[in-house]
Structure 1
Amino acid sequence: MEELLIRGLDDIRALEDVPYQERVKENSTYELLERGAAINPDATAMSFLLNGDTYENPIEITYGQFIGKIRQAANMFHDLGIGPEDVVTYILPSLPQTHYTLWGAETAGIANPINPLLEAATIKDICTAAKTKVMVCMGEMPGVDIWEKVDQIRKDIPTLECVIRVMGPTDEAEKIYSFEEKIEQYPSDKLTFDRDIDKEDIASLYHTGGTTGTPKLAKRTHYNEVVMAWMIQVMAGSKPEHTLMCGLPLFHCNGTIVTGLAPFSTGSRVVILSPMGYRDPSIMMNFYKIVEKYRPALFSAVPTVLSVLLDIPLNGADISSLEFVVCGAAPLSVELFRRFEEHTGMKILEGYGLTEGAVASSMNPKDGERKIGSIGLPMPFQRIKVVECNDDGEYVRDCEVGEIGNVCIKGPNVFKGYVEDAHNKNIWVPGDWFNTGDMGRLDEDGYCWLTGRKKELIIRGGHNIDPAMIEEPLYKMPSVKMVAAVGRPDAHAGEVPVAYVEVAENSGLTEEQVMAWAKEHVGEKAAVPKEVVITSAIPLTPVGKIFKPALRWDATKRMYEKELEALGDLVESVEVAVGEHKVHGTIAEIKVKAASGQDAQAIKDKVSEILARYTVYHEVTVE
């Protein structure tokens, strides 16, 4: 692949002089993977690490073996009745078998990845909405409850015909098959069926949230994913000799596309950082040693990961191979950005994307100006604009440069809507623009800056949490009148969920009781609120809707006040006021009364140090 300089918008526009249809000619992910495997079948496609302590002894899979397993998986699924409109759901940690399943499923039918950490009832709802026909899951393993959850729900999914267990035995009477035994019944050198995949055929259904019983499933075409892989190669400068590290989960499109399809299409090597990825403490503790051994050119991460790595010493490890880290999924604090680059000597390329855009829509240019805090420039053949919408989510007008509004994206990577029509209301702006629900502004150079979210998703360490997953179970609690879940800033995870609860007068309901109910009834562990705040009245708009910005401001105020207690004897008092800001979206105004004899600048520096890992913009005045 040609190496391209990406210094700014002019380079991206010049690249677009040749239509993307001429640059990206593959119609399917299978065709793209075949092309990548053919570059050098003997090259290593994947180095799989069991954990961080045994990183020097990986399981190596060549490209010849890799594409062979994908063909076997596709043949197996076809034999089990999977056709172009049938769904294979997988519930797996990050394993080589996960890639075989994903790409084999897309070759025979449609893949539906599910987060293994979800509760059984939520998994069942997703499978029901997706009309799952075949499920691939983990077998029984100590410390892993995937099979236990699948066994609870498999007979309650109306369309499910069989289950395939990775590292588990066959039970033909129950229509359960061993992955390892079943896949070896099929040839690896060719597909046993004829399928002419059209570029507009649906390749995958990714879960992006949604309330209990009505999950949001994004329909992505083969060409959405194929063209996305090419865009990532252009912006990241991928080469066949490159190695990339994959630590993000393979139920998420960052893991499957940025550190999956994109490098596989160029014959690069992918190091899979254990079944748990970045959630494996042994991987994080040995991270820099792993870099020294495998010499990766880049890895993809979320701010949470960088925050952890910042606290791990390099101890002399040679990490000079790393050209940069691609960071997205949640805002990155400017101070964390600077500290991480200083700690590691590598460059951070901040980007932005979402499942509905196949994973990425913008990135800071690798060869040009990186505007810290921005999400960069639109990727080739993509467009970003900012629009004003009314309270019903309907388009009003395009915004001016520097004006905050709804961020909209357009391009060949943008999905075909959600499975359930109810989720498709007001998601499109005239002209085939997708309204992301994120708020932001464009500057005079075309860089985009996020300022908040109009949609209410809480993003915890890059993981999307629908507030309804918290609110609906709490509404079922006796004496609860009103509930609103919002994101509270968090130094490690970016934000965490908190729940504001209005209770009936004289109910005697305590925050501890509500929290205990949430732990028992919220269907996803990551969504259980970190704090419950009982309030006499939840703020409402003039038309009676819950005004969540006020609650987010209150949650930020509480968090900053708690953190600034660390100022101790430097100050007599601290006041924090949080509200709207026309450039940054949200501002925390911090007024400090200095203790006698204390230096104002030293106090400001201390505040900056305390709040370094938070992303909400703040200003400090010292009296």
Structure 2
Amino acid sequence: MSNTCGVALPTIDTPSPGMRFEDWIQATNVFDAIERTQRRCAGGKTAITFLGTEPEAPPHKLSYTQLVEGIARTANAFRSLGLRRGDVVAYMLPSLVETQFVLWGAATAASALPLNPLLKAEEIASLCRAAGVKALVALGPLPGTEIWDKAERVRALVPAIGALIQVGGEKAASGAKVHLLADLLRSNSRQLAFSDLPEPDDVAAYFHTGGTTGAPKLVIHTHRNQLAAAYGGAWAVGACTDDVIVNGLPMFHVASAIFCSLAMFVAGAEVVILSPAGFRNPQIVANFWRIVERTGTTIVGGVPTALSAVVKVDPKGADLSRVRINICGASLLPRSVAEQMELLTGKPMREVYGMTEAGGVICVDPVSRARVMGSAGCPIPFCEVEARALAGTSASSRSCMPGEAGMLVVRGPNVTPGYKDAGQSASLFTEDGWLITGDVGYVDATGRVFITGRAKDLIIRGGHNIDPAVIEECLMRHPAVADAGAVGMLDAYAGEVPVVYVTLRQGASVTEDELLAFAKATINEPPALPRRLFVLEQLPMTAVGKIYKPALRQDCTRQHLLEVLQGESIAALTVREEPGRGLVVCIELAAAEEDSSHETRQRIAADLKGYLLTLEWASSQASPS
């Protein structure tokens, strides 16, 4: 492989034909992998550069020796609190140096459960109960944050949590005993004080995921899974000790933990943490290109929403000559944003395709091959990807021909053994053991993978499968459109028809009719022409920056049904999605309809008979016979 990053060659060698995965990575667990880097780099090499809330303030730097010692002290601290292999440590933390200590320290001493602190306390408590959490690490009380209050609430809701550990913040006024992480680090050895280190198939972490469906599941990550994804990702981008990557993603996001952290650590690269709030910090976005210049960043990356924000920032002459690669993952990147990134940096945009159930990395557009715009790249070493003919929204047993679209399935050491709740794993794998990604795409004759959409996001109009990306990509090319999300709206005749939601660029002015006319002139597939277009100030997003399409489907369904039922005395109409039931519509009639409610319900039920939905009535109102 060519020397792509100055004087240092890529750290991870290409596996030779017939080589075993275990011989390629050599490391047994994540601590072993990071410690190998520390020994190889003689320890003094910078591992982490942490930027505070104000990006102009002097950064805090941490060497590989300090990183390894911090992880070891944290692992020892968990053992000193009585935690053992099989126990689970959860954390509710922003992006801090201590977050790295806690994640990898928990994986070494027990298992980790990264949590999204933006979730409600009750949702976090439910995840903790499902994982069997025995210790909770959280950011201490600070003005403007609710994390500590939530942590105390979670502890009250989950009695099994025996240890509450505070990171930073003001002194907690909790009645229950609270451990300070700073004290625990000081009182524990900088070398591991226990010998039962994790084996490759021991659980390193549970990552909660709902994808774009919103229903959380706990994905098992073994050490093997994480190492396969990390080494594969590092190899694909040619990561080396000269590399510097900016990481503005939250540490409950698998891309932040694996590709933007662990993969860089195994390669001896430097990770720049873009403040505790990452890309959610407006100062980071506004100063992004100056940060890239000041830190000597070589790998610029993020999720599509983050990159869509930074491409609008004027570099103002910032020296970006150290940048050698742009990367994007988590969801499909609009072509216009990719082109803007390449124009700004002069370097190619390479996609990273992954999912939580596959260690966060499946494919990368590798630096060893010419960039192909729109391709998710090639499977990482020891990982296989193929397309299977669609069977509804799942995969059949028939393998597709090169270039033929189907359900993408994956197998390899990066693939999870399943969800912690085994019952949720029933539809996760094919009968012959391949992971069903839920993504529709194809593999070309050269082995490159292309993603065309999500199977569950497919719009099926009268039996015609419509890829929402066709509509979204079209409207994203309009100069007034900032973002777009296409979904299927219920239709009594066709089952569903495409509609699209958009947000506009700041200061832009355009009518819905003008945007629909633009789409009509651009989209060559008549069934894909959106029936309606809605302009919103902001699209609903998941916590990791993906458009939350269930909310859009529910919104357009509600609007359409209210139009269909115009003239009926309806007090409330709500729409939700339920596994196995699809769209569930619940209607509450106005109080004035009490005497004639039976006839009204019958009339409404008849009007909605042709729609693919489940009709319910508010609990106080019986269903029509």
The TM-score with structure 1 as length reference comes to 0.74
Name the CA distance, whole Å, in 1 between partners of 2:112 and 2:413: 20
Give the deviation of 1:494 after TM superposition: 5.5
Aligned ranges 1:477-496 → 2 under 5 Å: none
Q: Is the 1:48–1:59 Cα contact (8 Å) retained in structure 2?
A: yes
Say if 1:394 and 1:580 are closer, same or farther in 2 by CA, change over 3 A: farther
Q: Which residue of 2 aligns with 1:461?
A: none
Say if 1:571 and 1:497 are closer, same or farther in 2 by CA, change over 3 A: closer
Aligned ranges 1:17-96 → 2 under 5 Å: 17-38=18-39, 39-55=41-57, 57-96=58-97
Aligned ranges 1:204-243 → 2 under 5 Å: 204-209=205-210, 215-243=216-244
Unmatched runs of 5 consecutive residues or more in structure 1: 6-11, 459-485, 501-537, 592-613, 615-623
Q: Which residue of 1 aligns with 2:356?
A: 355
Name the CA distance, whole Å, in 1 between partners of 2:422 and 2:314: 50
* Aligned amino acid, residue 401 of structure 1: P
Question: 2:499 matched to 1:554?
Answer: yes
Q: Which residue of 1 aligns with 2:584?
A: none
Q: Which residue of 1 aligns with 2:106?
A: 105
Say if 1:498 and 1:138 are closer, same or farther in 2 by CA, change over 3 A: farther
* Aligned amino acid, residue 415 of structure 1: T
Question: 2:290 matched to 1:289?
Answer: yes
In the TM superposition, what whole-angstrom CA distance separates every residue of 1:98-127 from its partner, at most 9, and x where no partner exists?
000001000100011011111212111111
Q: Which residue of 2 aligns with 1:402?
A: 403
Name the CA distance, whole Å, in 1 between partners of 2:441 and 2:108: 37
* Aligned amino acid, residue 40 of structure 1: A
Say if 1:3 and 1:428 are closer, same or farther in 2 by CA, change over 3 A: farther
Say if 1:162 and 1:171 are closer, same or farther in 2 by CA, change over 3 A: farther
Q: Is the 1:52–1:284 Cα contact (8 Å) retained in structure 2?
A: no
Q: Which residue of 2 aligns with 1:595?
A: none
Question: 2:394 matched to 1:428?
Answer: no
* Aligned amino acid, residue 412 of structure 2: G
Which moves more between the two structures, 110-119 or 447-456? 447-456
In the TM superposition, what whole-angstrom CA distance separates every residue of 1:434-482 from its partner, at most 9, and x where no partner exists?
0011111122222222121123599xxxxxxxxxxxxxxxxxxxxxxxx
Aligned ranges 1:386-397 → 2 under 5 Å: 386-391=387-392, 393=394, 395-397=396-398
Q: Which residue of 2 aligns with 1:125?
A: 126
Q: Is the 1:129–1:215 Cα contact (8 Å) retained in structure 2?
A: no
Q: Which residue of 2 aligns with 1:566?
A: 510
Q: Is the 2:231–2:263 Cα contact (8 Å) retained in structure 1?
A: yes
How many residue pairs match? The answer is 508
Say if 1:541 and 1:23 are closer, same or farther in 2 by CA, change over 3 A: farther
Give the deviation of 1:496 after TM superposition: 6.1
Aligned ranges 1:185-584 → 2 under 5 Å: 185-188=187-190, 190-209=191-210, 215-391=216-392, 393=394, 395-455=396-456, 538-539=490-491, 550=496, 553-555=498-500, 566=510, 576=520
Say if 1:42 and 1:211 are closer, same or farther in 2 by CA, change over 3 A: closer
Q: Is the 1:302–1:328 Cα contact (8 Å) retained in structure 2?
A: yes
Q: Which residue of 1 aligns with 2:179?
A: 177
Say if 1:215 and 1:304 are closer, same or farther in 2 by CA, change over 3 A: closer
Give the deviation of 1:300 after TM superposition: 2.6
Name the CA distance, whole Å, in 2 between partners of 1:308 and 1:392: 33
For the residue of structure 2 that corresponds to 1:174, the secondary structure is coil
In the TM superposition, what whole-angstrom CA distance separates every residue of 1:349-393 from its partner, at most 9, and x where no partner exists?
112101111111112121322221121111221111111243484
Say if 1:428 and 1:572 are closer, same or farther in 2 by CA, change over 3 A: closer
Give identity over the alignment, percent. 31
Name the CA distance, whole Å, in 1 between partners of 2:198 and 2:418: 20
Name the CA distance, whole Å, in 2 between partners of 1:256 and 1:392: 30
Q: Is the 2:488–2:499 Cα contact (8 Å) retained in structure 1?
A: no
Say if 1:369 and 1:179 are closer, same or farther in 2 by CA, change over 3 A: same
Which moves more between the two structures, 110-119 or 424-433? 424-433
Which moves more between the two structures, 168-177 or 74-83? 168-177
Name the CA distance, whole Å, in 2 between partners of 1:392 and 1:341: 35
Q: Aligned Cα RMSD in Å? A: 3.7
Name the CA distance, whole Å, in 2 between partners of 1:161 and 1:243: 39
Name the CA distance, whole Å, in 2 between partners of 1:541 and 1:406: 27
Q: Is the 1:361–1:379 Cα contact (8 Å) retained in structure 2?
A: yes
Name the CA distance, whole Å, in 2 between partners of 1:571 and 1:193: 63
In the TM superposition, what whole-angstrom CA distance separates every residue of 1:132-174 from its partner, at most 9, and x where no partner exists?
1100011111111111222222111142111101114367851
In the TM superposition, what whole-angstrom CA distance separates every residue of 1:63-85 from its partner, at most 9, and x where no partner exists?
22211111110011111121110
Give the deviation of 1:419 after TM superposition: 0.8
In the TM superposition, what whole-angstrom CA distance separates every residue of 1:566-601 from its partner, at most 9, and x where no partner exists?
38999996674999969xxx944899xxxxxxxxxx
Say if 1:335 and 1:196 are closer, same or farther in 2 by CA, change over 3 A: closer
Say if 1:212 and 1:310 are closer, same or farther in 2 by CA, change over 3 A: closer
In the TM superposition, what whole-angstrom CA distance separates every residue of 1:333-354 from its partner, at most 9, and x where no partner exists?
2222222211231221112101
In the TM superposition, what whole-angstrom CA distance separates every residue of 1:317-347 from its partner, at most 9, and x where no partner exists?
1011010111111111222222221123122
Name the CA distance, whole Å, in 2 between partners of 1:65 and 1:574: 56
Q: Is the 1:125–1:214 Cα contact (8 Å) retained in structure 2?
A: no
Give the deviation of 1:495 after TM superposition: 5.6
Q: Is the 2:297–2:322 Cα contact (8 Å) retained in structure 1?
A: yes
The TM-score with structure 2 as length reference comes to 0.74
Q: Is the 2:90–2:137 Cα contact (8 Å) retained in structure 1?
A: yes
* Aligned amino acid, residue 293 of structure 1: R
Q: Is the 2:366–2:377 Cα contact (8 Å) retained in structure 1?
A: yes
Name the CA distance, whole Å, in 2 between partners of 1:83 and 1:294: 39
Aligned ranges 1:122-161 → 2 under 5 Å: 122-161=123-162
In the TM superposition, what whole-angstrom CA distance separates every residue of 1:29-66 from its partner, at most 9, and x where no partner exists?
010111112222122211110034325x0011122221
Unmatched runs of 5 consecutive residues or more in structure 2: 6-12, 460-467, 533-546, 548-625
